[in-house]
Amino acid sequence: MGKLKTQSLHKRDSELAQSNRQLEILSNGIFQDGELPTFAKKIKETNQFPLRPKKLEILQINVGYMCNQVCEHCHVDAGPDRKEIMTWETMEQCLEVIRNTGAHTLDLTGGAPEMNPNFRRFVEEASKAGIKDFIVRSNLTIIRANKKYYDLPDFFKKHNVHVVSSMPHWTRGKTDKQRGEGVFDMSIKALQELNERGYGMPDSDLRLDLVYNPSGAFLPGDQASMEKDFKKALMEDFGIHFHNLFAITNLPIARFLDYLIASENYEDYMYQLVDAYNPAAVKNVMCTNTISVSWDGYLFDCDFNQMLELPVASKVKHISDYNEDLLNDRNIVISQHCFGCTAGAGSSCQGAVAE
């Protein structure tokens, strides 16, 4: 496994490991003195405040913050030193919900979800629930990290899992800078193995999509042209196929916020996000069709709010009291990090959102 870059903010006892400190930063300074409008003010301009959910389509479950990587910009602040892992008991509560939900997509994320000791048992059970699209967000290197994970491509195939994986660039230098030394080569090897099982091949039903997020303090370019460039480069250099590329904007929270502040890019980045604000993206932001479940079973509007410890504004707070109708009748909790979801073509875990 490649050399790890850093430790998590939590392990380093950084003040930014505290979600309330992050929220303070996002509300102070340029947003407090009115130099930039707040997100609430911005969406009021188009009468989209308060932000409300539409029909629930995606149930996103975070099975733990432990990860084999320590990517520089991780919004989860994940790493090998994080011990928050979903228990089997909570997984059983999730399975109960998965069997009864109206959502058509189940999206497992982490950390590296595969590092949860009950991951396979959970996937086996969840795949029986007949959900149309079953996503696992796999970071690719996990497949090559240890012998016990080598058979993951076969396991994914057996359960018809839709694999979504991060890839910051088609060149080694840019990828390793963000995700750690050696990550590029391991990711390429993992992609080739997935291709060998049929994943990502043209006309194959075994879905393999890549997620691109910028390696620094700038916004992602046009998703369709990035996809074209990635496809061309990965095919020419390594013979790799994949289906779609999702271009995702880095939200100013956790390690990315830490990086923005340390590199003196914070204000400029917030300006970029606010300047690129697209009111058309607001109606499709991820929280309008997703519920995010944390490792300990609590419910959030999205994975970002989960990391900021902003729980859903609903009577239903925990997966054990799950009630879809009650939950859908809520206002979404917002702050200035939300500008990351509405910049340009918009951004969600499924990529751009503006039609």
Question: Shortest gap between Cβ of 236 and ligand SF4 (angstroms)?
Answer: 26
φ, ψ for residue 136 (rounded to 5)?
A: -120, 125
CA distances from 114 to 138, 158, 223 (A): 8, 15, 28
Question: Shortest gap between Cβ of 179 and ligand SF4 (angstroms)?
Answer: 6
| 3-state class percentages of the chain: helix first, strand second, coil last, to nearest 5 | 40, 15, 45
φ, ψ for residue 125 (rounded to 5)?
A: -70, -45
3-state secondary structure of 260: helix
337 binds, among another protein, ligand SF4, none (CB under 5 to 8 A by kind): ligand SF4
Question: Shortest gap between Cβ of 310 and another protein (angstroms)?
Answer: 29
Q: Is 249 a binder of ligand SF4 (CB under 6 A)?
A: no
219 binds, among another protein, ligand SF4, none (CB under 5 to 8 A by kind): another protein
Query: 228-234 contacts: CB < 8 A, separation 24 or more?
Result: 229/170, 230/167, 230/170, 233/170, 233/171, 234/170, 234/191
> Within positions 40 to 79, which residues make up the interface with ligand SF4, using CB under 6 A?
67, 69-71, 74, 76, 78
97 and 59 Cβ atoms separated by less than 8 Å: yes
Q: Which of 305, 306, 314, 350 binds ligand SF4 (CB under 6 A)?
A: 305
Q: Is 174 a binder of another protein (CB under 8 A)?
A: yes
Count of alpha carbons within 13 angstroms of residue 78, beta-carbon side:
24
Q: Which of 3, 47, 147, 173 binds another protein (CB under 8 A)?
A: 173
Question: Shortest gap between Cβ of 15 and ligand SF4 (angstroms)?
Answer: 20
Task: Give the range of 54-62, 92-100, 105-113, 153-161 binding ligand SF4 by CB under 6 A.
Answer: 105-113
Q: Which of 53, 111, 220, 297 binds ligand SF4 (CB under 6 A)?
A: 111
Q: Is 235 a binder of another protein (CB under 8 A)?
A: no
3-state secondary structure of 335: coil
If one counts every other C-beta atom within 10 angstroms of the C-beta of residue 37, the result is: 17
Q: What type of residue is 208?
A: L
> Within positions 246 to 285, which residues make up the interface with another protein, using CB under 8 A?
271, 275
Q: Which of 186, 285, 293, 307 binds ligand SF4 (CB under 6 A)?
A: 285
Q: Is 220 a binder of another protein (CB under 8 A)?
A: yes
Binding site for another protein (CB under 8 A): 169-171, 173-174, 214, 216, 218-222, 225-226, 229-230, 271, 275
